[in-house]
Amino acid sequence: MQDWPDASTFFGWMFAVTFVGIACWEAWRPSRAAVAPMTLRWVGNISLFGMALLMIWLVPLLSSLGAAKLAAEHGWGLFHLIALPPVLALAASFVLLDFFAYWTHRLMHKIPLLWRLHALHHSDNDLDVTTTIRHHPAEALAQASFDATLALLFGFPPQAVLIYGGVVLVVQTFHHGNVILPASLKALSHWLITPDIHRLHHSRLYAENNSNFGNLIPLWDRLFGTLRKEPEGTFQAGLPEFTGADFQRLDRLLTQPIKVVVTN
Ligand SMILES: [Zn+2]
Ligand SMILES: [Zn+2]
């Protein structure tokens, strides 16, 4: 872990391999038939990812990792003040990062302005591997600001931030997949956010998309009463105000925040 570029490259490849693997799994045995034109959706979702990457490249310090490195250099934040043994600091940071990811996601749904930005992730009329990377650039900026602030306050070790970010990206790519889990893997949902759990978070029904906020493990949803396992009826992804295929065009995606209906 001494060599940062190597660790980042490793997780970059892990993400790429998982993305292609899940895309092949979806093509081979999809869980649901497509509702919206796939090419239009994929071009939009992948373009949004390109914009988010460009933004991270332009402002590298506005990220959890950039802020954690800054905190480590200057000895800022709780973990640098209490000087825990490195292994304990790493484990505690990993748990706290997932805890805060759960709560920032809940805030994204609760605060009207944040919901306007996060709603783009939910307005995808189909749910598949590309939904993982479908976030408005302004939401990516807001999320990066939250993450950087927490990294500065807590002084998370950069290693913890890098490993957590890499693992979460791989798990998120998996749990957005339009795939049917084999019976032998169903038990995974007890301790990992799987496609069976996360798809309900993308439901068109308010009660269902206000559940299952977890990123990595279902523990926080279980503890705070937001875990839901079964849909009320037939599952439908998306938001009621953005059902037409036209809403998936890139220009419409970028201007979507001003058209979101705030009901939360
Ligand atoms: Zn959400
Ligand atoms: Zn999602």
Q: What is the pLDDT of residues 43-94, one digit of tens each?
A: 999 999 999 888 878 877 788 898 999 999 999 999 999 988 999 999 999 9
Q: How far is the CA of 157 from the centre of ligand 1 (A)?
A: 27
Q: How far is the CA of 161 from the centre of ligand 1 (A)?
A: 21
Tell me the CA–centroid distance for residue 10 and ligand 1, in Å.
27
Q: Are 119 and 239 in contact (CB under 8 A)?
A: yes
- How many A from CA of 169 to the centre of ligand 2? 11
State the distance from the centre of ligand 2 to the C-alpha of 201, rounded, in angstroms.
Answer: 7
**Has residue 146 got a pLDDT over 70?**
yes
pLDDT of residue 219: 97
Global pTM exceeds 0.85 = yes
| Ligand 1 center to 261 CA (angstroms) | 15
pLDDT class for 104, splitting at 50, 70, 90?
Answer: very high
Measured in Å, residue 88 CA sits from the centre of ligand 2 at 30
Q: Write down the pLDDT at residue 6.
A: 74
Question: Nearest ligand to the C-alpha of residue 117?
Answer: 1
For range 8-18, the mean pLDDT: 91
- Average pLDDT over every residue of 245-254: 95
From ligand 1's centre to the CA of 62, what distance in Å? Answer: 22
How much distance in Å is there from the Cα of 86 to the middle of ligand 2?
Answer: 32
